Structure 1
């Protein structure tokens, strides 16, 4: 290499902004949560569906709230056929494509659930990632609002199965038709591009009420708003009277669902669309009440509008009501972790025929973060049993012993790192959160026994031991015949799991 030639710079070992790595405990907790939610969806008669990570851009459509971001908030790229593709931003848009493409083979209604990562080209921030997991359930081809009520009931059951206690969440239900009626009353009807743009900005503004408060939403309904970073978001440029009517709609919640619906009837005036939306809300509330989902779990809340642009009827959000401490130690509510609604026009983009559909999505990573902050995650913290490798000449026998543990249903591994130092291998076992270590040296092998070190008990007792005699007498290590290794390890694991509860 000449003096003028410089070595290529090494790549930075870091994930892109807004993305993160999920290690053992988090990945295990997510997998366990998805399994419990899937059991609920399966019990309701929904079938699993897996779709590709990316679709044609025109298949996904432009429905994201963050439309000012590059490519309308999606990650898009051009393939070798000069066609634009994009990573899915949710699980619903791909479902619409599936329902249209396979409409002749699928049953009607088609009930499916889907789980996996989605990607949004949004501005990352605390707790806001550009890749995150969603867990969806949808019913395509069901026109009755009874399907919306069923989705709400299933969403409540799924949250409880995931670990959210009853009383720690509330389902808030609204209807886009009601908001359409209020917009008619506010003079925002019409199909021209300018009116459509103002309605879109209004929807996104109202959807941010929980984050920005009335002052921030009013700014977005007016000329616009500058955030803390200095970025300016253009507003809908509504007159004060128009903004007052929209904000009156957002704050229309009353003590009971019936009183809220009565107030909404007043706000929509003579709008047939608005009145239809109010009637649908009343029907949903009646069905869920009959199913046992009362006001402690469900509320009619006009402030719920959902940011996505494809909703056409009932919309709903699941909000966690308990408080957690943020990075600065201040108490705050975690907010929404799930939501959904009716989207009767989404499949029609492909077929030209109106196809009723409704569904909900759980933000798995947000829910995991909330339960972790509350100390209610219930993640698996017990690592594998580690069989020490102290004599490489007998590695086959050591691995065979480990195989016996696995055959008995016990999670186990043989230490396969470098060196035969026992202390180093025990430190490895501690780092792996192993409940026990199995030690077989040349002496033990000759006598047909193994030393079983109860690592969890040893850690617990170490804090209480004050002398060498006490250490020698402590019961955290025992010698057992090879025939009793499995039973002894199983006993230790059972005790550790009992202590963890």
Structure 2
């Protein structure tokens, strides 16, 4: 009988679940900067912060599941020890509705708040489609005024420009769900019994910025098979019904030029008689006429609300191409009850493989008058806007509007003598207390200076602090400028420049002047920690 060799324990495979991403320090710093910019705009409009948990009771989220192809599987859920179902939030609006309802009597009305955080979607991941992503919302709860909706559109435009997206490179598009409800009624999909089918139609329409019209027609009909072979069941409309739905988008695509003769329009623009603002007004009025001509029923009320919003936008000066009426805007969630809006980037660029990329929608929102009412049993009007921070950051990065270079790491105090750790830690504390990022090298204390310098380089440190026995006897430290050191390594210039840089690359300073010496290096290279 032979002894069997014991099996080696299997190493755990390091892997990330599909639809999730790890984020680098540079990406996190960019997000922080974006969030701060958005916050400043939202607060300028008078919104105040609130924070809700990432988990809610599943019934608080209700039937309003996110856009996904497998009903009732759009959220991540689990049961707690009381057998209550809890779900990760799929947006920031449903949790806000619960918060407002729970604190209704103590909150000022209208209640104006903003919040940002990650949301979670249990749906098929794909390019630019993640299961965890960040949103930044602002909402006004307790106002039925169209001015609240117009304000969201204005704020969306101001936020895009604050983030560095120039005017003309984005558009805020506005529609009204009541107009879409009129379409549904006209094709026989009114009433609660058709709620599911209506949602399927709306989700199909919402894909128009991603798919050609003929592919959307498939989603309105029997269904569509994607490139991977996955089949998405359609809404089951017949050809005549699909035509009536899609006619809205013919109205939306009509430009101001199409509403006048091309000659008239070009002459008017050339002479300055037709300004961008006037062109947008012509376009909006034409769309209003197209809707009124083609639709009946609840769309009449929706049309009146759109006209009032347009009046307010004109008064604010946002009718210059920044905001426009567009009947193609749907939004994928069922809870919208009135005006809906969407921010679209108009810039085209190419990915790392040279393929054209169109970013499309990077934010949106709308009126959801029934969401808080589920908890209160009384009408509570509300409207809100959400920026997809993760998606917008990806777009801004690809467009070169976000600095993705790694930020500078901390100043590193190296270990020359293992018996002097306390002294080195004192240097670190002195730097930190002066507002300078600093750390003590915590690797193997037997590592020589070369290994420690290589560590500092990988940390992108601007400089290191050194004190050996000779420096200690003199009450000094050596400051090594790693940035100049890197320049010297690749320098092919003249001897005088080389000697000058060499003198700056490493110099002595008294212990009492440590902070001033390090600041001299930081100022030399404009080192800023984000």
Distance 1:399 1:289, change over 3 A: farther
What is the CA deviation profile of residues 366-400 of structure 1, one whole-angstrom value per residue up to 9, with x for unaligned ones? 11111111221135622222222222211222122
Structure 1 SS opposite 2:192: coil
Q: What pairs up with 1:50-65 in 2 under 5 angstroms?
A: 50-65=51-66
Q: CA deviation at 1:154?
A: 1.8
Q: CA deviation at 1:205?
A: 0.3
User: What is the aligned partner in structure 2 of residue 202 from structure 1?
Assistant: 201
Q: CA deviation at 1:481?
A: 2.6
User: What is the aligned partner in structure 2 of residue 28 from structure 1?
Assistant: 29
What residue ranges of structure 2 are gaps of 5+ in the alignment? Answer: 257-282
User: What is the aligned partner in structure 2 of residue 382 from structure 1?
Assistant: 408
Q: Give, in whole Å, the separation in 1 of the partners of 2:5 and 2:293.
A: 78
Q: CA deviation at 1:342?
A: 0.6
Give the TM-score, by structure 2 length. 0.88
What is the CA deviation profile of residues 132-151 of structure 1, one whole-angstrom value per residue up to 9, with x for unaligned ones? 11111111111111101111
Distance 1:396 1:109, change over 3 A: same
User: What is the aligned partner in structure 1 of residue 435 from structure 2?
Assistant: 409
Give the TM-score, by structure 1 length. 0.93
User: What is the aligned partner in structure 2 of residue 369 from structure 1?
Assistant: 394
What is the CA deviation profile of residues 334-380 of structure 1, one whole-angstrom value per residue up to 9, with x for unaligned ones? 12111111100111222221210111111111111111112211356
Count residues with an aligned counterpart: 496
What is the CA deviation profile of residues 37-65 of structure 1, one whole-angstrom value per residue up to 9, with x for unaligned ones? 22222222212111121111110123234
8 Å CA contact retained: 1:402, 1:414 = yes
Q: Give, in whole Å, the separation in 1 of the partners of 2:526 and 2:312.
A: 41
What is the CA deviation profile of residues 231-284 of structure 1, one whole-angstrom value per residue up to 9, with x for unaligned ones? 11111121222111211112322322222222122221x32x212212222222
Structure 2 SS opposite 1:103: coil
Q: Give, in whole Å, the separation in 2 of the partners of 1:114 and 1:500.
A: 25
User: What is the aligned partner in structure 2 of residue 164 from structure 1?
Assistant: 165
User: What is the aligned partner in structure 2 of residue 439 from structure 1?
Assistant: 466
What is the CA deviation profile of residues 137-171 of structure 1, one whole-angstrom value per residue up to 9, with x for unaligned ones? 11111111110111122222223333433333221
What is the CA deviation profile of residues 450-478 of structure 1, one whole-angstrom value per residue up to 9, with x for unaligned ones? 22222223323432237999755523323
Q: Give, in whole Å, the separation in 1 of the partners of 2:312 and 2:520.
A: 49
8 Å CA contact retained: 1:143, 1:356 = yes
Q: Give, in whole Å, the separation in 1 of the partners of 2:527 and 2:422.
A: 33
Q: What pairs up with 1:2-401 in 2 under 5 angstroms?
A: 9-69=10-70, 71-192=72-193, 195-253=194-252, 254=254, 255=256, 256-268=283-295, 270-271=296-297, 273-378=298-403, 381-401=407-427
What residue ranges of structure 1 are gaps of 5+ in the alignment? Answer: none
Distance 1:427 1:314, change over 3 A: same
Distance 1:183 1:295, change over 3 A: farther
Distance 1:212 1:45, change over 3 A: same
Distance 1:86 1:496, change over 3 A: same
Q: After alignment, is 12-21 or 468-477 more displaced?
A: 468-477
Distance 1:196 1:407, change over 3 A: same
How well do the aligned residues superpose, as a CA RMSD in angstroms?
2.4
Q: Give, in whole Å, the separation in 1 of the partners of 2:8 and 2:491.
A: 56
Distance 1:276 1:196, change over 3 A: same
Distance 1:486 1:160, change over 3 A: farther
User: What is the aligned partner in structure 1 of residue 486 from structure 2?
Assistant: 459
Q: After alignment, is 29-38 or 354-363 more displaced?
A: 29-38
Q: After alignment, is 79-88 or 69-78 more displaced?
A: 69-78
8 Å CA contact retained: 2:174, 2:324 = yes
Distance 1:86 1:428, change over 3 A: same
Structure 1 SS opposite 2:107: coil
8 Å CA contact retained: 1:173, 1:314 = yes
8 Å CA contact retained: 2:66, 2:121 = no
8 Å CA contact retained: 1:450, 1:482 = yes
Q: Give, in whole Å, the separation in 1 of the partners of 2:308 and 2:170.
A: 22
Q: CA deviation at 1:31?
A: 2.0
8 Å CA contact retained: 1:151, 1:360 = yes
Distance 1:257 1:461, change over 3 A: farther
8 Å CA contact retained: 2:73, 2:123 = no
Distance 1:412 1:301, change over 3 A: same
Q: CA deviation at 1:498?
A: 7.5
Distance 1:322 1:390, change over 3 A: farther
Q: Give, in whole Å, the separation in 1 of the partners of 2:65 and 2:9.
A: 39
8 Å CA contact retained: 1:402, 1:412 = yes
Distance 1:298 1:447, change over 3 A: same
Q: Give, in whole Å, the separation in 2 of the partners of 1:443 and 1:259.
A: 84
Q: Give, in whole Å, the separation in 1 of the partners of 2:306 and 2:205.
A: 19
Q: Give, in whole Å, the separation in 2 of the partners of 1:442 and 1:117.
A: 51
User: What is the aligned partner in structure 2 of residue 425 from structure 1?
Assistant: 452
Structure 1 SS opposite 2:508: strand
Q: CA deviation at 1:499?
A: 10
